[in-house]
Structure 1
Amino acid sequence: MLHVGRDGEESARGRERTAGRGRSAQRNQVRTLVMAIAKVVFVLGATATGKSKLAIALCKRFGGEVINADKIQVYAGLPVITNKVTDDERAGVPHHLLGVVRDLGADYAPEDFRRDAAAAVAGVLSFGRLPVVAGGSNRYVEALVDGDGGAFRGAHDVLFLWLDAEPRLLEWHASARVDDMVHAGAVAEARDAFRGDADYTCGVRRAIGLPEMHDYQRLLAAEGGGAATDAELAGELARALWEMKDNTSRLARAQSEKLRRLSGLNGWDVRRVDVTAVLLRMADGTAFRDSTWENVVWEPCEEMACRFLGNYPTPPP
């Protein structure tokens, strides 16, 4: 039997304390490394699901800035047709890559977005703020996250929040938003942007509303013997608006299907948030008279963001 004297006991205890301090230091080092990983929140969803509202709310809560990921909103001008957030809606939150491409016919490819968005994210992080990437152009998001050999994912810890809804309701709501655009001046905006020889396959002219209203604007611009009657104009405008609604509905469906595919990819930990109840309230006109959005969207998203960010510094309430 081995007998250990007092000196040996003290020596053993000292070694244990030293080992314990070493393990504690290792844990602290790991914790520091984890906290040092740059964190980025993505707000995804089809058109008309409320991505901008959530992104801005997250930025206000956690001291962040929005990086736009909408392939049409990167272009300057046409604020109504491109559904850009207004200055009031931004609530003082800085937005990046919103209306920055001045050449309205230029092709802003996913690779261009990956380069510029990565730079914007780095800039936001350099000021100790939270980047919130928000938009419905899933090819842009996929290019940023998985492009360039997955460099972005390797350097960042990401949280994906996906706003989704019952498909038929979402498609109806998306198409109904066309009426809001018309009331906000979309027809006049399309008239100002009209060009008889416009190319609707590239640049901002791909935006829903411009190609659909081309024939109406052409009739409206005709003079002399080619001028259209009021009845012809009204009929052509009605056709254009119907086509806008149909195409918006199709867009919502395609975006949702793409997000379902992305959510199944390896490494894409996408958190789905069902906004069906909010859209129902909007349909019956009670959306702004109750707390449905706060209960259904904001509270779960805030909680997920808090858990994701951990000790991330947040501004005082």
Structure 2
Amino acid sequence: MAMLLSMLVGKQPRPSLHNPATILDLPMPDSWTTLKSKDKVVFVMGATGTGKSRLSVDLATRFNGEVINSDKMQVYQGLDIAANKITEEECNGVPHHLIGVLPCHADFTCTDFCDMVSEKTDDIVARQRLPIIAGGSNTYIKALIDNEVYGFRSKYECCYLWVDVSMSLLYQALSDRVDQMVDKGMVEEARKMFKPDADYSKGVLRAIGAPELDHYFRVEASADEETRARLLKEALDEVKINTCRLARRQVQKILALKNDKGWNIHRLDATNVFPKHSKKSSKAYEELVLRPSVEIISQFLNNSAILRSADAVMSTTTR
């Protein structure tokens, strides 16, 4: 033991007989602080429409987790359809945080995001559950991880999962999704928030689907039926184009984090999971996305308290 202390601490002053020193009195070397394992956090990344929400829910169910939203548009109230917020049914009982928590016109900066996510992550970890941070605002995620002010990297060990889909296939899926959003009432939803003096640079009105419909709303009352139909189609085509552009930017930012910043991001090729309505898509999702993700996270947690708790929950529910 004396030799170990000598190697770790170096030569120490001889203690006074009147104030005997113990190991607790010795200065702790920096190397000792790394012996304690960090708490674990999982990030689910990917372009819009690739299935991040589905994977997050499945992983949270398996690993006793809770999901923290990292999409800067979904943090606002309003435009639930246009912002593609997860529904209560899709949550499948998994707690979700930072969705629809701010008024639609509130300011929400990158600093606000980092503060809110850090606080919520601390809360989830304190309850011995696994934080799963999911969303497409990669610039905000980069700030959270790389900015030393938040100390996120020093407190947590992070595992990054990237759900990736062939861009050409994703473009078609995103175009189809806009049509589905229209069927669900996206245009009516945006119309309720329309104002002639609206500022599309603030709040939830920045979301794709609001600025593009502005001109249509301004003239629809005075235009004939043919003109209205043409203008609506043009607006929705613009929504589709801007959504595809967003997806491309998101992938570019993930590649920059992986290649330029050196983040250890695990790519999951979900291309064969699409189209979603294919009979084989469910099996493909389990084989190509869910199963590899479970294996990666199981190894990442590596007998942590969270993994033991998750195994206990799964054991109980399968009896």
Shorter-chain TM-score bucket reads 0.7 to 0.9
Residues 33 and 92 (structure 1 numbering): CA distance in 2 closer, same or farther, change over 3 Å? farther
- Residue aligning to 2:255: 260
Q: Any idea what the Cα deviations from partners look like across 1:10-60, whole Å, max 9, x if unmatched? A: xxxxx9xxx9xxxxxxxxxx9x97674110000000100100100111110
| Structure-2 residue corresponding to 1:105 | 105
Q: Establish whether residue 307 from structure 1 lines up as the match of residue 299 from structure 2.
A: yes
Equivalent runs, 1:128-277 vs 2, <5 Å: 128-149=128-149, 151-220=151-220, 222=221, 227-277=222-272
SS in 1 for 2:49: coil
* SS at structure 2 position matched to 1:291: helix
**Quick check: 1:125 aligned with 2:122?**
no
1:194-227 CA-partner distances (Å, limit 9, x unpaired)? 111111112110111110111111223x3xxxx1
Distance 2:166 2:141 in 1: 23
CA RMSD of aligned residues (A): 2.1
Question: What displacement does 1:149 show?
Answer: 4.5
Amino acid at match of 2:195: R
Q: Spell out, residue by residue over 1:278-317, the C-alpha distance to the aligned partner (whole angstroms, 9 max, x if none).
A: 12x32xx315764111111000001001000111321432
User: 1:84 and 1:138, CA in 2 relative to 1: closer, same or farther beyond 3 A?
Assistant: same
Name the residue aligned to 2:313.
316
CA contact (8 A) 1:171 1:253 kept: no
The code of the aligned residue for 1:237 comes to L
2: CA distance, partners of 1:268 / 1:276: 22
SS of residue paired to 2:147: helix
Q: String of CA shifts for 1:204-254, please: whole Å, max 9, x gaps.
A: 10111110111111223x3xxxx1111111111000010000000111011
TM value normalised by structure 2: 0.83
Question: What SS class does the counterpart of residue 257 from structure 1 fall into?
Answer: helix
Greater shift after overlay, 158-167 or 264-273?
Answer: 264-273
- Letter of the structure 2 residue corresponding to residue 140 of structure 1: Y
Partner of 1:9: none
Structure 1 counterpart of 2:26: none
Contact 1:159–1:270 (8 Å) recurs in 2: yes
Q: Distance in 2 between matches of 1:290 and 1:166?
A: 18
* Normalised TM-score (structure 1): 0.84
CA contact (8 A) 1:278 1:287 kept: no
Q: 1 CA distance for matches of 2:94 and 2:279?
A: 23
Equivalent residue letter for 1:278: V
Task: Give the equivalent residue in structure 2 for 1:27.
Answer: none
Whole-Å separation in 2 of the counterparts to 1:53 and 1:150: 29
Deviations 1:143-162 (Å, cap 9, x if unpaired)? 11112356101111100001
- Matched letter for residue 96 of structure 1: H
Counterpart of 1:258 in 2: which secondary structure? helix
Hey, what's the Cα distance between the residues in 2 that align with 1:34 and 1:186? 52
* In 1: Cα distance, 2:197 partner to 2:55 partner: 39
For residues 251 and 202 of structure 2, the distance between their equivalents in structure 1, rounded to whole angstroms, comes to: 23
Partner of residue 93, structure 1: 94
Residue 98 of structure 1: how far off its partner (Å): 0.7
Q: Per-residue displacement from partner, 1:116-140 (whole Å, max 9, x unpaired)?
A: 1000000000100000000000011
Higher CA-based Rg: 1
Q: Does 1:55 align with 2:47?
A: no
**Matched residue SS, 1:305:** helix
Name which of 282, 286, 297 aligns with 2:278.
286
Aligned-pair identity in percent equals: 43
Question: C-alpha separation between the residues in 2 aligned to 1:96 and 1:137?
Answer: 15
Distance 1:146 1:175 in 2: 34
* Distance in 1 (alpha carbons) for counterparts of 2:70 and 2:191: 27
Paired residue type of 1:176: D
Question: What residue identity is the alignment partner of 1:80?
Answer: I
**Counterpart-to-counterpart distance in 2, 1:158 and 1:188:** 40
CA distance, structure 2, for counterparts of residue 95 and residue 262 of structure 1: 25
The alpha-carbon distance between structure 1 residues 82 and 42, as it changes in their structure 2 partners (threshold 3 A), is same
Q: Is contact 1:41-1:160 (8 Å) kept?
A: yes
